[in-house]
Structure 1
Amino acid sequence: MFWRGVLGYLPVNIAQGVVGLLTIVLFTQILSPAEYGIYALAFSVLSLTQTAFLTWTEAAMARFLARADEDGRLPDHFATLYRLWILMALAIPVVAAVALRFWPMPAPLKVAVAAALAAAAVKSLAKMSQERRRAAGEVSGAALLDVIQTVGGFALGLVLALVGLGGAAPILGTGAVALLCLVFVLPTDLKRLKGGSFDKAMAKAYAAYGLPVAFSLILALVLSTTDRFLLAAFLDESAVGVYHAGYSLGSRTLDVVFIWLGMAGGPAMVAALERGGQPALAESAREQADFMVLLTLPAAVGLALVARPLTEVMIGPALREGAAGVTPWIAASGWLSGVTTYYLLQAFTLGRRTTMLSACMAIPAGANLLLNLILIPRFGLSGALWATTASYALGAIAAGVLGRRACALPIPWEALARTGLACGLMAAVVLALPDLGGLLELILKAGLGAATFGGAALLLDAGGARARLAVLTRRFRTA
């Protein structure tokens, strides 16, 4: 199931990667630093709202669909979840009214925040449909829905930015395309409620599982967004724009790979646990962990090594200089965050110990808030970077230690050691190359660095590189 998902979600990965890079390239050119900062703040509001009110129903859809199917209670599963979703969505207009009335903010930011609050509900309902398909193993349907929202939202947001809607444009584009997708997928999904009824016991179980997941994700968002709000408070929106540009370049590049692996890996581990117990889970988890390290660690190291020429090519002149210093730190933070979120924290959801998940996430979130309050007033952007990296490192340690109490997942120490050695060889080659600047330097360093790592990984068999290459080659030929 894992490898079928890896190949099936590859188009999503490609689309998200291309759109993520184009978002940075084009929006940093079209929007001013202040407008880009407004977009960053509004996007944070969208994420926080969706996570606080609705994400727990999305999580329950994914986690309990296989069990409901085994029990022959799918209609009750859908009827219960959609009623819970409606009840939670009714709170969003109240939050919107309070925020827009009492939060002192300039008019452009108010428009962007209003768009973000409206888009949160629409995106969540589309996410429910996507999670249903993903949990059911309908890889092509889930992938298509994701690609349409990713590409369509970006394209419409770009058009709206060109006509002068400023920082609200990307948010408006995302929400509008998600709404369009619902026109086509929602009628079919609602038919699955036929014959089902709201079940209080199901609702209680879903809430007991999903609400701690949502709370932990809120803490994760606090961890990833607190710095932007504090930078806006202590400095200004332009500083937020510079920080978000470098942050996006560093984290988005890695997020695409982690999300791709998570799309395939999460359902595969749930299926392995439900059908084969702990031994099957351990085998599936080790396979995923080795492959994750093999793909993502060199990506993070490589990103840090080419940060300056990459920002010269990808980011607009007004944001370029500051973003170049941000990207290497965020590459480290992004790798720690991805490994924690898409592997280590899965122990709590697999073991249904989601209360422990919340406690685990509270550790780095609290540390991040405290460190940002201490460091940003004294060191500005640098303080935010140091706080973020230290907090994610602390979060990875906490997840690794506490996760073993919920559901023991293997730690890929051998893959880390061999892949780390291959990354060290890559770094030695890249650092020896001249600083030519711009696209030429980027192509030279990225090309030779990738070739060096690839050869070293195969020589060392890092993360089972030889076997992985053989498996993927066979499956691509079959596909």
Structure 2
Amino acid sequence: MFWRGVVGYLPVNIVQGVVGLLTIVVFTRVLSPADYGAYALAFSVMSLVHTLCFTWLEAAMARFYAAEAEGGRLPNHFATLFRTYALLALGLPLVAVPVLWAWPMAPALKLAVGAGLASILVRSLLKLAQERRRAAGDVSGAAMIDMAQTAGGFLVGAGLALAGLGGAAPLVGLGAAAAVCLIWALPAELRQAPGGRFERARINLYAAYGLPVSLSLILSLVLASTDRFVLAACLGQTSVGIYHAGYSLSNRTLDVMFIWLGMAGGPAAVAALERGGEKALRSVAHEQASLMVALTLPAAVGLALVARPLAGLMVGPALRDGAAQVTPWIGASAFLSGVTVYYFHTAFTLARRTPLLMLAMALPAMANLALNLLLVPRFGLQGALWATLASYGLGAVASFALGRMVLPLPVPWATFAKATLAALGMAAAVRLVPESGGLVELIAKAALGAVVYGGLALALDVGGLRDQAMRVGRMLQARMATP
């Protein structure tokens, strides 16, 4: 199931990567630094509200689907989740509209925040449909939703930005694309619950599991967003735009890879545990973690090596120098964050000990707030980067230690050591490339780095890469041969 997901979600990974880079290229040029900063702040608000209100339902859909399917209880599962969603979707505007109306913020920022909040309603409903498909092993259906929403949201958002909508444009695009996708996806979801009924005991069970997941993700978002609000308070919205440009350049690149592996690995881990117990889970988890390290560690190192030519090519002139400074630090932070969220945190969700997730995230979130308040006023942008890296490092250690208490997951230390050795060899080779600037330097460094790391990884057999490459090759050949 894991490798079927890896292959099936590969097109999603490609689309997300391309769109993520195009988002930076387009919006850092079309939007002014202040508008780009408003977009960054509004995106953070949207993410926080979505996570608080709806993510616990999405988590319950993903985690309990396999068990409910085995027990023949899917109609009540769907009826309970979707009716709860409907109540929350009716309540959110009743709270959000008066708060937004009364909040003293600039009109452009208020418009962007309002657009983000409105998009939550359709995006969460679509996310429920996508999580159902993922949990059921419908890789093509889940992938189609993701690709259509990602590409469509960017195209609509870019068009609105060119029309002068400002920082609200990307967020309106996300909501519009999700609404169009729902026209295709929602009828199939409604057919899943014929005769189903809402069960209070069931929603209590889902809330006990999912609300700690939401709260832990809110702490994760606080960890990822605190620096922007502190920068805005101390240095203004333009500094947020600079920081967000560099942050997106590195974090989005790595996050796409982690999301891809998480989309494939999450359902496979749940299925392995439910059907084969902890022994089956350990085998699947070790394979997932090895592939994760083998792919994302060199990506983080590579981002640091090409930070300046990459920022020069992808980021608008007003933001590129600051973005180049930000990229290496956030690349390291994104690696720690990805391993923590998409691997160490699965110990809590698989064991249904999600309250411990809050503790695992509370420590780095509080540390990040304290460090930003201490360092940003004195060191500016550099202080935010130091605070972010230190906080994510603390989060990784805390999550690993707490996870060992509930469901120990294997750590592929041998793979990590080999991948580090191969990445160091790649770094030594890339540093020999002259700094000519622009696209030539970027292509030369990226190509040399990929060749050197790939060769060393195959020679060292990082994470059993040789066998895995042959397996993926056979699966791709089978997919291409299928009429």
Same fold, judged at TM 0.5 (above): yes
User: Deviations for 1:247-281, whole angstroms, at most 9, x for unmatched residues?
Assistant: 00010000110000000000000000000000000
Residue 21 of structure 1 deviates from its aligned partner by 0.4
Which is worse superposed, 180-189 or 136-145? 180-189
Could you tell me the TM-score, scaled by structure 1's length? 0.99
Residue 212 of structure 2: aligned partner: 212
Residue 230 of structure 1: aligned partner: 230
Amino acid at match of 1:332: A
Residue 55 of structure 1 deviates from its aligned partner by 0.4
Residue 146 of structure 1: aligned partner: 146
Residue 428 of structure 1: aligned partner: 428
Residue 398 of structure 1: aligned partner: 398
| 1:94 aligns to 2:94 (yes or no) | yes
Alignment of 1:25-104 (within 5 A): 25-104=25-104
Residue 476 of structure 2: aligned partner: 476
Q: Match of 1:409, SS?
A: coil
Q: Give the Cα separation in 1 of the matches to 2:57 and 2:424.
A: 43
Q: Give the Cα separation in 1 of the matches to 2:44 and 2:314.
A: 22
| 1:249 aligns to 2:249 (yes or no) | yes
Residue 92 of structure 1 deviates from its aligned partner by 1.6
Q: Give the Cα separation in 2 of the matches to 1:368 and 1:122.
A: 32
Q: Give the Cα separation in 2 of the matches to 1:241 and 1:393.
A: 25
Q: Match of 1:164, SS?
A: coil
Residue 202 of structure 1 deviates from its aligned partner by 1.0
Q: Give the Cα separation in 1 of the matches to 2:223 and 2:90.
A: 27
Alignment of 1:363-374 (within 5 A): 363-374=363-374
Residue 88 of structure 1 deviates from its aligned partner by 2.3
Q: Give the Cα separation in 2 of the matches to 1:344 and 1:450.
A: 27
Residue 83 of structure 1 deviates from its aligned partner by 1.6
Q: Give the Cα separation in 2 of the matches to 1:476 and 1:72.
A: 34
Residue 118 of structure 1: aligned partner: 118
Residue 93 of structure 1 deviates from its aligned partner by 1.2
Alignment of 1:330-345 (within 5 A): 330-345=330-345
**RMSD after superposition:** 0.9
Residue 359 of structure 1 deviates from its aligned partner by 1.0
Alignment of 1:300-379 (within 5 A): 300-379=300-379
Which is worse superposed, 79-88 or 137-146? 79-88
Q: Give the Cα separation in 1 of the matches to 2:283 and 2:112.
A: 46
Amino acid at match of 1:135: A
Residue 462 of structure 1 deviates from its aligned partner by 1.3
Amino acid at match of 2:167: G
| Inter-CA distance 380–99: structure 2 relative to 1 (3 Å threshold) | farther
User: Deviations for 1:192-250, whole angstroms, at most 9, x for unmatched residues?
Assistant: 22111111221111010000000000000000011111111111111000000000001
Could you tell me the TM-score, scaled by structure 2's length? 0.98
User: Deviations for 1:274-321, whole angstroms, at most 9, x for unmatched residues?
Assistant: 000000000000000000101000000001110001001111101011
| 1:17 aligns to 2:17 (yes or no) | yes
Q: Give the Cα separation in 1 of the matches to 2:231 and 2:83.
A: 39
Q: Match of 1:197, SS?
A: coil
Residue 164 of structure 2: aligned partner: 164
Amino acid at match of 2:86: I
Q: Give the Cα separation in 2 of the matches to 1:229 and 1:58.
A: 27
Q: Match of 1:311, SS?
A: helix
Q: Give the Cα separation in 1 of the matches to 2:103 and 2:50.
A: 19
User: Deviations for 1:375-433, whole angstroms, at most 9, x for unmatched residues?
Assistant: 11111111111100100000000111100112110011000000000000001111122
Residue 272 of structure 1: aligned partner: 272
Amino acid at match of 1:365: A
Q: Match of 2:192, SS?
A: helix
Q: Match of 1:432, SS?
A: coil
Q: Give the Cα separation in 2 of the matches to 1:173 and 1:101.
A: 22
Residue 99 of structure 1 deviates from its aligned partner by 2.9
Q: Match of 1:246, SS?
A: helix
User: Deviations for 1:83-129, whole angstroms, at most 9, x for unmatched residues?
Assistant: 22122223321332243133211111111111011111211010000
Residue 385 of structure 2: aligned partner: 385
Q: Give the Cα separation in 2 of the matches to 1:350 and 1:31.
A: 42
Residue 53 of structure 1 deviates from its aligned partner by 0.5
User: Deviations for 1:328-372, whole angstroms, at most 9, x for unmatched residues?
Assistant: 000000000000010010000000000011111111111111111
Q: Give the Cα separation in 2 of the matches to 1:332 and 1:349.
A: 25
Structure 1: runs of 5+ lacking an equivalent: none
Which is worse superposed, 82-91 or 201-210? 82-91
Q: Give the Cα separation in 1 of the matches to 2:99 and 2:390.
A: 32
Residue 292 of structure 1: aligned partner: 292
Structure 2: runs of 5+ lacking an equivalent: none
Alignment of 1:192-211 (within 5 A): 192-211=192-211
Which is worse superposed, 55-64 or 177-186? 177-186
Q: Match of 2:352, SS?
A: coil
Residue 437 of structure 1 deviates from its aligned partner by 0.8
Amino acid at match of 2:165: L
| Aligned positions, number | 479
Q: Give the Cα separation in 2 of the matches to 1:294 and 1:187.
A: 40
> Which aligned runs of 4 or more in structure 1 are off by greater than 6 angstroms?
none
Amino acid at match of 2:369: L
Which is worse superposed, 400-409 or 280-289? 400-409
